Amino acid sequence: MDATPQLNVLALNSGSSSLKFGLYCVGSSRIEKLVSGEAESIGEKNGKSHAEDLRGNILLAETGRIPSQREAIIRIGRLLIDCKMPLPAAIGHRIVHGGPKLRQHCLVDDSVLTQLEAATAFAPLHIPPALSVIRFAQEHFPGLPQVACFDTTFHAELPAVARVLPIARELQSEGIQRYGFHGLSCESIVRRLANDLPNRLVIAHLGNGASVTAVKGGKSIDTSMGLTPTGGVIMGTRSGDLDPGVLVYLMREKKFDAAMLEELVDHRSGLLGISGVGSDMRRLHEAASTNADARLAIAMFCYSVRKQAAAMIAALGGVDLLVFTGGIGENDVEARAAICGDLSWLGLSLDEDRNRSANNPINDSRSRCAVKVLPSQEDEQIAHHTWALFPWSVVG
């Protein structure tokens, strides 16, 4: 067998109502994306499906109801056949949370599925759809090795000072700790920087979900999200950090139960809760000229990210590079400028033209800290890990 065999890997990145996918040809030192796409608004009447090949040619653009994640996977399989794409030899899955027992990327077997089911309590919004996608993929692509790639793995070796939560010791022993998320995104940034990786790196992954991570020598040493992906900075519909007394007050005075609290902090807070307009920053920018609440939501988001960035810089003892990634981080010129504007005290300054064009680095020549905009490549990371964990004996 070739010392560096290649593998066709289907990467599946599931959300509660979406399924992103990419088919990659992966080797030890190279990766090529053959096709990618997404099924959106699954289960709703206004569903969308789109896909494109490696040259950006549109292979699929459909609107209409997609009944389930299972149907989305069937359509992906049909697309690969119709477009004469090579069928995958393995499938990799993004799993947001593996709980306290699943901290490393791994091949999926019955034991892993059982442990994932047990971890549902840690991420009830994310794990059930991810489990469904794994099972549907096993059904539609029988016999193919499947790999679970965890967003928490990058943060698995957080030092105790960042990992341990200030609660009773008996609760800590039950796995209630800081896990951190967006790990696959952070891994992709570290991999992208490669030989240019600085010792002190801050990654601001800013999208509908948002987090800020401190990376020292390529390792996560602190991150803004905690036990769940709800904590940290203000997000699209998630609150980020809250005084725990707010939740106690709502339980005591407003008779909120767990489901009502979860609905509030995960779906009716953040940018949506502040603005009353929506959770999408593009929509908020459009409304900001006439809507004070939209302006406040944008300002609070940037303020929240700036505070977390400063905290991560303190954890690192300084910073060599700040990276913006994620949908907002990569595309929102005004948000990047606002976040960096009040970090000038540490000698950070942006070049306005470079920031507007995302021409790296986007800092100016006077800045004591480099600033870059790099795309998050979570699906490529999934493909890399799947290649690394593939049981080559099955084809030997």
The residues annotated with a catalytic role in the active site are: 151
CA 116 to chain centre: 18
- Cβ–Cβ < 8 Å for 212, 314: no
Contact 179, 297 (CB under 8 A): no
What does the radius of gyration of the chain's CA atoms come to, in whole angstroms? Answer: 21
- CA nearest neighbour of 392 among 107, 166, 38, 20: 107
- What is the number of other CB atoms lying within 10 angstroms of the CB of residue 308? 27
Nearest to 184, CA basis, from 149, 213, 225: 149
Closest C-alpha among 371, 311, 366 to residue 340: 371
User: How buried is residue 92: exposed, middle or buried, by Cβ count under 10 Å (0-12/13-18/19+)?
Assistant: buried
Strand order across the beta sheet in which 210-216 lies: 219-223, 210-216, 200-206, 321-325, 370-373
